């Protein structure tokens, strides 16, 4: 990877964004179905969920606004689209399906926003951008799964909305480690800073 890293460095990628004055946390799609390799899980997703328990505790202690997302489709499939054409099994993530429920250990607390989404990005077709703007948020910490899918799509859109975007490395996971690592590398070069939970805890925000 050294040659690839060198060319990015020489071309001026991977600048530091830093943490602003008004952070929020978004937790992407930690649903029961993503804990089961027979459904949508595998890889290091369980490890990322365990890490997010501590991240949520930190966010709540610091009074950061918190958003959780769920992939949810209508029982009759009337709102399905391109995402489900590519991954038809997603159609089973209906409102009442046990697979679509948020994992209990990272379940929302009262006052935290829960967004239902039908596409990869937490911004696309949801009220997330307006909700963040209304709270004058300037920094978005991102946890969730999968790193190469919905996390990456959310990070790109967060950057496009001019938010300081921080991927919490031990709180994101993927069903395969190769795409996870490649996506972290790519996001660090172009769209976000990477920070561990310990690094965030050591900060003053």
C-alpha distances out from residue 10 to 6, 16, 18, 20, 191, Å: 6, 15, 21, 27, 17
Q: State both tokens at 34.
A: 């993503």
For the chain, 205 residues long, give each residue's pLDDT as a single digit of tens.
467 788 888 888 888 999 999 999 999 999 999 999 999 999 999 999 999 999 999 999 999 999 999 999 999 999 899 999 999 999 999 999 999 999 999 999 999 999 999 999 999 999 999 999 999 999 999 999 999 999 999 999 999 999 999 999 999 999 999 999 999 999 999 999 999 999 999 986 6
The active-site residue out of 80, 150, 159, 171 is 150
Q: Is 80 part of the annotated catalytic residue set?
A: no
Q: pTM of this prediction?
A: 0.95
Q: Which domains does the chain have, with CATH numbers?
A: 21-202 (3.40.50.850)
């Amino acid at each position: 990877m050294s040659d690839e890293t060198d060319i990015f460095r020489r071309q001026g990628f991977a600048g530091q964004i830093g943490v602003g004055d008004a952070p929020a946390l978004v937790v992407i799609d930690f649903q029961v179905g993503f804990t089961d390799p027979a459904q949508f899980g595998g890889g290091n997703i369980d490890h990322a969920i365990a890490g997010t328990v501590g991240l949520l505790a930190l966010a709540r202690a610091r009074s950061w606004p918190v958003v959780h997302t769920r992939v949810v489709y209508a029982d009759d499939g009337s709102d399905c689209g391109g995402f489900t054409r590519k991954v038809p099994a997603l159609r089973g993530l209906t409102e009442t399906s046990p697979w679509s429920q948020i994992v209990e250990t990272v379940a929302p607390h009262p006052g935290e926003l829960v967004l239902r989404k039908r596409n990869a990005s937490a911004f696309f077709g949801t009220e997330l951008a307006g909700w963040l703007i209304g709270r004058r948020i300037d920094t978005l910490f991102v946890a969730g799964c999968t790193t190469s899918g919905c996390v990456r799509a959310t990070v790109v859109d967060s950057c496009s909305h001019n938010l300081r975007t921080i991927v919490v490395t031990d709180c994101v996971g993927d069903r395969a480690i190769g795409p996870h690592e490649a996506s972290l590398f790519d996001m660090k070069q172009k769209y976000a800073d990477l920070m561990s939970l310990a690094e965030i805890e050591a900060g003053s925000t």
